Structure 1
């Protein structure tokens, strides 16, 4: 069976990546609007009426507007913006989050695609909180770095003009828009201290979770944390450990942020110091892949009842 898919915002960074992934998808046909009417609400709604799934690759305000306009339509909406991520009426599109999430996505007509940074943090922290070894009231710090494509067309243009610094920190007001979904879906009682930054590379990211042994209900070992995460994602096609054991870089001498650029999977790592009083957990992914367009295609597959890794591996 062939399904009709409409990408609202197909000319943007995420929209182009979604279209690229769907080009090789055996079960979908992508509907296109003429460039002259891509911002015309009536034309977009007409296209949604013909679609089985519409993927919204829009700024937050525009995504809210089109979701309201399409509120009575039966089309499945997948919103790649931040707008609906903490809205209980929208299923959160991180399928690997827990055992029930795939069912929630398969049965929902409104799906919010996760943010790239939250995808990494939730993958690392939610299993620890749900397993009871980290309390929900823990003080959590999240240093992270992303490729400059995460800043959209404006930051890409800065790079092309030679105006982008080799490495820059931002969101120093501690009010990054990803923090609410990090807190909600990781299972925290209070907001994590999020420290994002951008490197001078196109795509890829590292999301770090530093922890002290005293933060755990029972002090773990690096191996026990590795095994917990490995078992949590054992049935996942797109999330796995990046090495065969804890304290291992998977045969590499360092951890490059862009190693998964262009891919749709996520790798997890666990490190500890010699006496295991400090732990360093890391998620590595492509901010445009598993952190955006790849996740949107995965969620589309789940919503349509297709194998979730179709066109992604």
Structure 2
């Protein structure tokens, strides 16, 4: 029998993207509820307990509730919310995190899909902290700009619905100014940092795509750390990765600007190591689709691993 997949919250931004990518596949079967039953706790509970894999595309509290509904020990869960990203008993769904992470995901019962912003930050930082190149007590800054879709359906509607009662046309918005963004604990934990990074998120007047920066001062690193050593560490870490690519030094030197929409519609993430060696400055940069590698693309990647491990 084909594995039965239930997307709880398939009407949301991420749920719609996942559903569209799964709808044409012949190696799975999708379990769907009628529109009138999608928010019915009894119907949701029945679906969650009768599927093989439940994909949760829900707000955090609703995702926690959904997990509480599951009594069937055979049901595996892929949670796209931020509810379980630092929870014990959950496997972090970034297959490139460490060497055997993909194998862990393939066998796990509970997988938490990474957040859009943390995906880029962790991809840049984790290899360096693991190698001792970046001290774990380094004062990390993460500066990122996303398309407005990263804030969910309400902001998408405010930008795109011509009949919206309170339309938004702001070209650029900075938020998370209380420094308590919900993605920070995930970044700290999965990037192996001793202290929370300062995270400054922004969104622009475009639908999707992220440019994320992590600035580094060489003077604050161990004496033997150079730009070349940072670059080589990242290149080696991702040399066999299908989806995360460190750009060549020639490409980086020829890059004068970055388009946040460059990788839209893909599960790719490109890494750049910019530098000013005279000033001892390095700028680590990730470019990717917040709805791709930052959400639905990562979920499909994780689901494929889970199916391979069935």
- Cα–Cα, structure 1 residues 105 and 139, in superposed 2: closer, same or farther, change >3 Å? same
- Cα–Cα, structure 1 residues 25 and 264, in superposed 2: closer, same or farther, change >3 Å? farther
Query: Does 2:252 match 1:248?
Result: yes
Query: Does 2:193 match 1:188?
Result: yes
CA offset at residue 252 of structure 1?
A: 5.0
Instruction: Tell me the SS of whatever aligns to 1:224.
Output: helix
Indicate if the aligned counterparts of 2:117 and 2:144 stay in contact, CA closer than 8 A: yes
Partners of 2:231 and 2:296 in 1: how far apart? Answer: 28
Q: Kindly provide the CA deviation profile for residues 99-134 of structure 1, in whole angstroms up to 9, marking residues without a partner as x.
A: 121222122111111101000000000000000111
CA offset at residue 71 of structure 1?
A: 4.5
In angstroms, what is the RMSD of aligned CA positions? 1.8
Indicate if the aligned counterparts of 2:6 and 2:55 stay in contact, CA closer than 8 A: yes
- Superposed, 1:1-313 pairs within 5 Å as 2-160=2-160, 161=164, 162-241=167-246, 243-245=247-249, 248=252, 252-275=255-278, 277-305=280-308
Partners of 1:246 and 1:80 in 2: how far apart? Answer: 36
Query: Which consecutive residues of structure 2, in runs of 5 or more, have no partner in the other structure?
Result: none
Give the TM-score of the pair, scaled to structure 1: 0.93
Residue range with higher mean Cα deviation, 267-276 or 280-289? 267-276
Question: After TM superposition, what 4+ stretches of structure 1 lie above 4 angstroms from structure 2?
Answer: none
Partners of 1:246 and 1:43 in 2: how far apart? Answer: 55
Give the TM-score of the pair, scaled to structure 2: 0.93
Partners of 1:28 and 1:219 in 2: how far apart? Answer: 51
Partners of 1:42 and 1:181 in 2: how far apart? Answer: 32
CA offset at residue 32 of structure 1?
A: 1.0
Query: Which consecutive residues of structure 1, in runs of 5 or more, have no partner in the other structure?
Result: 307-313
Instruction: Tell me the SS of whatever aligns to 1:119.
Output: helix
Partners of 1:225 and 1:133 in 2: how far apart? Answer: 7
Question: What is the number of equivalent residue pairs in this alignment?
Answer: 305
